[in-house]
Structure formats: structure tokens, C-alpha cells
Amino acid sequence: MLPPLKHLLLMLLPVTILAAPSEDEIRMLPGLAEEPSFKQYSGYLAATGSRRLHYWFVESVNNPKKDPVAVWLNGGPGCSSLFGLLGENGPFKVMDDGATLEPNPFSWNNVANVLYIESPAGVGFSYATDSNYVTNDDRTATENYAAMKDFFNKFPEYRVNELFITGESYGGIYVPMLSVLLMGDPSFNLKGYAVGNGVSSDEMLGSSIMYFAYYHGLVGTTEWTNLVKQCCGGSENSCKFVSAAQQSNACETEVRKVREIIDGGSFDAYNLYAPCAFGVGSHLEAHNGLVDWAFRSLPQHSKSRGYGSKRIRAERGCTNNTRVSVYLNSPEVRHALNIPESVHTWQECSAFGEGWYTNIYNNTTPFYQKLFNGGIRGILYNGDVDMVCNFLGDEWFAESLGRPVREERKMWYYSDEKGLKQVAGFVKTFDLLTSLTVRGSGHMVPMDRPRPALLIIQNLVQNTPF
């Protein structure tokens, strides 16, 4: 049988063997006790216009020539993918001293070559030569697409490798949008995608978090009864809290009471059962603009995301990731990563003034339908104690896509450090789509549950059922 036309086009593309850019290679990374067995690169990819996106590429520990390329995008918008590398699924994790790196046995480069891109421009070490950082969903997708083209110009030997796009949180916007653009370009060998605790539908995430709060004991029966009365006509089976809050002041008042419990600083919204790193109520208030996706259309969220007239910190509330910032802002580390001295300091999450990022899409269904039509398979996975992008809303979203069911919801498993079989969560399989939960994990699944997280990406790239 003749190979598909897309594969023929990929084979006909001019390829320079082993053309990886030597000037971007990381020769010696501070903090490592010994040099890794794989090569890694750090530098810049040309996006659109004046924008340059920083990347860090780690080759597979197995067979980089044949293993797939997986792209990782953290969300925000405004949060750096280098936290994903150094705090979640990369080959190293920064220790508490902010100087020492510890190998991560559950790194995703056990099964793939992994490309971390700091996007959009202004995030992390990425920059714009004209210092104009105003952007939106569409422009970010276009810039990520341009950066991907430049990556394969730098690393043409990887063009024929299978390609997967992954990310978390606002990556629920980035990943499907970028995947659609790549799918339409025959020079990319796109095979699939994965989104962890992703933004999917404002209405579904916003309504489901009310149920989540009640059934996790954050809201009492009296408060729940008032909420249902004002927002749902007294019937909790027909609640659409987001749209109801937009139409009724009484409903909005009750919704705000619940949101104040979730976002008020007493809990880690990213993991309900995790303690606050600096104590209750001590974290930055700026995080609120990075959390409350679903209710952004209410009056206090009616403006595009932004916090002032200059680049400021917008760290995630209740978490302590200082060690990563200390490490990446070390002059020795910046030099090793080929970061110009003129580039700003690294921050986990950043913002650039009122209206710097405009959220265009409050439902990502059209992008997923295009991916299904193109035969691209994907995984939507959720830590089940996250309150930012909760599992219930994303499960509702997966169901709403209308894909034929291949296997009904069941438990899935992983092997623990003793080799014992353990429940990882629950999974439901549709045609071209897998929806699953990760038991006991918060927003950052690779950080909270690294073993099941590695199995997720392994099953994705190997097209293995759960």
C-alpha cells in the first residue's frame, strides 16, 4: 500500500542530518552532580514580527532519532513553561536551596524528545524587541505556530518524528489552537495532543465548581440552598451558574460568596488538600486574575487580564516556587541557557499592564471538532482535587463533544514504587478522545502524581489504551 500523501511530503522535505544548532547547546548546566546522558539546547525561536520565544529542548534518553517530539506549554496566560520543566515533568527538579538540581526519574523525556516553549512573548525569558507585549488567543496561536516552524528549521532532523502537543491550564486554549494550525500544514507530522486540567468551557467549568465546592464540604447546606434558589429556580439539576449570574444580581451575590471561599486565600485553589506554603491569607492577591476563568465575564472580570503599567509578578497563590526563580535568575544559569544580559529577569508568571492579554474564546469545542475531523487523537486529563480547572467541568466538556463511546468509564492503574498495582483514577474512552482523572492530584498532575503522569504521556505517544 502506498504511504499517505502527508508522509510522502515529509520524506521529500530537504533534511540536513544532525543539524542541531551548536550555539544553542547547553554545555554545562549548573547544579548537576554529573552531566546527563542526553543532549539539551536552549535559545530563541523567531515568532512573528519582533517577538522571540525562548525554548529549552531536551532529547530523549532512549532513541532521540526515532522517539517522538512532545511540546509542553504551561498556561496562565503569562506562566512560564520552564516551571513545567524544572517543577513538573522535566529531567531535573530544583531543590530547596535554589542551586542544586536533582534528576527526575519520571521525566517525560523517558519516552519523547521534549520541547518547552515560553509563550507568549514576555513570559519567562521570551521577549519582544519593541517591548510591545499586547496579545490575545489568536495571536498567541500564530506565534506558537511560527516558533514551531523555526524550531524545525533549527532541528530539521526531527521533522519526520511524530509530533505531540501538550500543556496544562490555559494550555487548554493554547494546545488545541496550535494543534489545528499544525494539522493544516503537511510539513508537521502531528499525531496527537494532551491537555491537563485545561480551560475548556467557561460555562461548564464555572457551573461545575459550584457543585465541586458543595460536595467537597466547602459550602454548607444553607448556602447551597440559597445558591440553587437564586440561580437555578430551586432545581439543582438545571443549574448554569455562569449565565445565571450574568442575568441575576441575586444569583451573582450567591455565586460570589462561594468564589470568595475558593479564591479567598484560605485554600490552595490548585490543590484543595495542599497546605498554603506561607500560611493562610499570606499569598499575593494578583493571583486572582490568573484563576477565575469561568467568571471572567462578570463585572469585576469584564476587562482583559492585566495588573498595571509594567511587568509585575503574578505568582500562583498559596504555592512556593521561589527555588525555581532563584535558580533561573542565577547569572551562571542564564549564561548556560544562552540568555542575553538584556533580557528581563525570569518570573514564573507575569503580566504587562491593563489589557495585555485578551481572552477571545470561552468554549474550545470548534477546535476539537476540527482535530477530530482531521483524525488527530487526544487525551484530556484532570487531577481530581484541582479547583482552578476542575475535573467535573472538563468531564462535562468531553461528553459534550459527542464522540462515539469506545469504552465506558472504568478505573485505570499504575505501578507504585514497590511494583504494586494502584488505582490512578478513572478513564472513559471515546473515538479519538480519552477523558481521565488522576486520583489525589491537583492542578499540576506531573508534580503531584509523577508516576501516573508519565504513564499518561507514554500511552499517548505509543497509542496504548488505559
Q: Quick check: is 443 catalytic?
A: yes
| Contact assessment for residue 456 and residue 378, using Cβ atoms and an 8 Å cutoff | no
All three cell numbers of 27, joined, read 554545555
Catalytic residue list contains 208 = no
**Contact predicate 177/371, CB 8 Å:** no
User: 169, 201, 325, 350: which one is catalytic?
Assistant: 169
- Phi and psi at 430, nearest 5°, equal -110, 170
Does residue 242 contact residue 336 with C-beta atoms inside 8 Å?
A: no
C-alpha span between 273 and 237 (Å, rounded):
27
CA angle 78, 83, 85 (to 5 degrees): 130
Give the integer Cα–Cα distance in Å for 306 and 77: 10
Q: Is position 130 annotated as part of the catalytic site?
A: no
From residue 166, alpha-carbon distances to 195, 283, 355, 416 in Å are 6, 29, 27, 24
> How many DSSP H helices and E strands does the chain contain?
15, 17
Annotated catalytic residue within 202, 292, 384, 386:
386
Say how far apart CA 320 and CA 94 lie, in whole Å.
Answer: 12
Task: Enumerate residues 6+ apart whose C-beta is below 8 A from 26.
Answer: 40, 41, 42, 336, 337, 338
Q: How many CB atoms lie within 10 A of CB 138?
A: 12
- Spell out the alpha helix ranges (H) of 216-274: 221-232, 241-247, 249-263
Query: Which residue in 38, 53, 70 sits closest to 158, CA to CA?
Result: 70
Which CA distances in Å does 178 have to 72, 155, 183, 320, 372? 12, 19, 9, 30, 14
Catalytic residues: 169, 386, 443
